[in-house]
A and B are shown apart, each in its own frame.
Chain A
Amino acid sequence: MGISKIWVFGEATDAGVTASTLELLTKAHQLADTVEVVMSGDAAAVAGVLGAHGATAVHTIGPIEGSLGGPRIASAIAGAVEAGTGPDAVICSTSYDGRDVAGRLSAKIDRPVITNVVDLVADGDRLLGSEPVFGGTTDVTTGFTDSGTAIFLVRPKSFVAEESGGGPAEVIEIAVGDLGDTGSATVKERFVEESSGPKLDEAAIVVSGGRGLGDAEKYKMIETLAKLVKGAPGASRAVVDAGWVPYSYQVGQTGKVVKPTVYLACGISGATQHLVGMKGSANIIAINKDEEAPIFGIADLGIVGDVHKVLPKLIEALEARG
């Protein structure tokens, strides 16, 4: 006997369904008899791509306009769980909204969340989640001891999205319960911060800067270099905490997981929490003054040197190539 029904929290932007939603659907399809999506907005518009990735139905709460989705989606799922029509497991991506849904749902139905999951495994009729700890040196696999609804938060890029040939998912409306005050936050305006290059988690080359750069002004070298190689700039947690760049730049356990073709780490020593976010890169280049820096333990090309000397020359050479 296997896992009978998994629900995946579906996220979509103007550009369509997010990559992490499709990754989760692909994996869920391999693990459960029935995979369905729960989301807000126009489900009919995305029913095709969701179906192709394994979903047979998509439950939508309808348009939410300026409201935040978290409390609403969680309420809809909790309603189904309480009515006995809910899934065995709910899987959300570790995204801004995915965490809102998982956290709200957890408190609503009094079920803990298994978080930071990078792999899902079927164990009879229950689902287990595997999580890297201690900077990715150890994998811990966890499951629930009872048969209640299991909630998982899965890190993006844990799985590869693949179509499995299914037809469009059936669109089903699902009701949101009484939210009380919990749904009263409203989005008044959305701001898009223009970035000319590729997104951090989609770029083929990521150039990341760490505390070894010395000060915020020097981070500009990272942005210049990223632009020259048509890559995306990233940062270590230390640099984000210091306020040099926003949280959205952060690569690591508490930031984004990236798996580019090339990861160029500049002035990053390789704290365990950073390594977890980038060690899946196909090729790693590291520049650091300290020969003993842990980053050299995983770099394909390690340069023991001063970023303030190496980077300007690298930038100059790339500019010379045009």
Chain B
Amino acid sequence: MVWLIPLQGTLLGMIVVVCVKQIPDPADPGALDPETRTLKRDVKLILDESDSYGVEMGLQLVDAAGEGEVRLVSMAPNNEVGGLRTALAMGAASAVLVSDEALAGSDALSTAKVLAAAIRRCEPDLVLTATESSDGYTGTVPVQIAELLGLPSVTFGKEIEVTDGVATVKRQTEAGFDQVECPLPAVVSVTAGVVEPRYPSFKGIMGAKNKPVDELDLAGLGIDPATVGWSGARQEITDVAVAPARDAGQVVHDEGDAHERILAFLDDLKVL
């Protein structure tokens, strides 16, 4: 599925779309539903911390451009907006939220199809995503979105500058980083910890309640339900097994000689 209509933007300054995921609080790891073998989703959702870096980076890029805005795109069950409100309170201008019962069981490709369709409505100059979500961590959605939209992508971005319709991105590599130039519109995924996400101000939190959240279902996006969710996944879980556990060893309290114990342990292994 590829849309051939070119994206457009730039009329309103720089439009940065940030894909955000609303996830169960990672402090509460959740469980699989024994019936459906999918993650139970009965808890309140929050903004995935991984996405707060993209939101911050988007806000900084719009500031640097002098004109424009950050628009959020999210897919969540039950029209959940808890995480979106956090990102709106940080300074994003609006959000598109896609909810549809047919999206249950969606894998990364289904998610990318939905997000790509929602992103097209926002006419972005730049699409920012995290490198991976904190709960699903497949890490393929950013590139799948780029391919579906026919856009170039730069993954694992540490720094982004935009000048004259070209993004210059420092991309993490095994050896260090590459300086990559990419004409806009483009998709860039950003690694965590590269900017300091701002805390929403009281004014921001109050203002977020009145910011527009465009709620859509699959029909509204023009997506055939058969291509996403359970029917789009074309996969089955064949086995769920308890992983072999690793046994605990000796636990000692430091009485001022812990460093000697560690050295003795390392000496026994002859690794020093």
Contacts and interface: CB of A to CB of B under 8 A. Distances in A.
A110 B49 contact: no
Contacts of B75: none
Contacts, number: 287
B259 A314 contact: yes
A247 B174 CA distance: 10
Contact of B193 (A111, A192, A247): A247
Interface in B151-179: 151-156, 158, 168, 171-179
A136 B258 CA distance: 29
Nearest to B239: A141
B238 A142 contact: yes
Contacts of B112: 107
A253 interface: yes
A137 interface: yes
A316 B258 CA distance: 13
A138 B178 contact: no
B143 A190 contact: no
Contacts of B142: 103
A66 to B, nearest CB: 9
A183 interface: yes
A142 B180 contact: no
A112 B107 contact: yes
A86 interface: no
Interface in A199-215: 199, 204-205
A113 B138 contact: yes
Interface string A210-253: 00000000000000000001000000010011111011100001
Nearest to A133: B32
A301 B147 contact: no
Interface string A1-36: 000000000000100000000000000000000000
A135 interface: yes
Interface in A268-322: 272-273, 279, 283, 285, 287, 291, 296-306, 309-310, 313-314, 316-318, 321
A302 B250 contact: yes
Contacts of B261: 301, 303
Contact of A100 (B143, B151, B182, B240): B143
B90 interface: no
B59 to A, nearest CB: 17
A184 B183 contact: yes
A81 to B, nearest CB: 14
A302 B235 contact: no
B176 to A, nearest CB: 4
Contacts of A153: 138-140
- B26, B237, B249, B259 — most chain A CB neighbours (10 Å): B259
Given A115-B139, A181-B151, A240-B192, A309 B254 contact: yes
Interface in A169-186: 180-186
A103 B140 contact: yes
A103 B154 contact: no
A154 interface: no
Contacts of B150: 180-182
Nearest to B175: A192
B266 A115 contact: no
Q: Chain A interface residue count: which class?
A: 35 or more
B139 to A, nearest CB: 5
Contacts of B263: 314, 317-318
A296 B241 contact: no
Contacts of B151: 181-182
A256 to B, nearest CB: 10
Given A137-B243, A138-B242, A185-B181, A116 B137 contact: yes
Contacts of B248: 296-299, 302
A114 interface: yes
A38 B141 CA distance: 22
Interface in B228-267: 232-243, 245-254, 256, 258-263, 265-266
A190 B174 CA distance: 11
A277 B148 CA distance: 32
Contacts of A297: 248
B29 A272 contact: yes
A185 B152 contact: yes
Interface centre among B131, B139, B237 (most CB of A within 10 A): B139
Nearest to B136: A115
Closest 8 CB pairs of A and B: A305-B254, A103-B143, A107-B147, A302-B251, A193-B176, A300-B249, A185-B182, A103-B140
7 contacts: A115-B138, A139-B239, A153-B139, A181-B183, A193-B177, A291-B253, A296-B251
Interface of B: 1-2, 26, 29, 31-32, 49, 107-110, 112, 131-132, 134, 137-144, 146-148, 150-156, 158, 168, 171-183, 186, 191-194, 196, 232-243, 245-254, 256, 258-263, 265-266, 269, 271-272
Interface of A: 13, 68, 70-71, 74, 94-96, 99-100, 102-104, 106-108, 110-116, 123, 128, 130, 132-146, 148, 153, 180-193, 199, 204-205, 229, 237, 240-244, 246-248, 253-254, 261-262, 264, 272-273, 279, 283, 285, 287, 291, 296-306, 309-310, 313-314, 316-318, 321
Given A102-B143, A191-B178, A303-B252, 15 more contacts: A104-B143, A113-B109, A138-B243, A145-B236, A183-B152, A188-B180, A192-B175, A193-B175, A205-B271, A262-B266, A273-B26, A302-B250, A305-B254, A314-B259, A317-B263
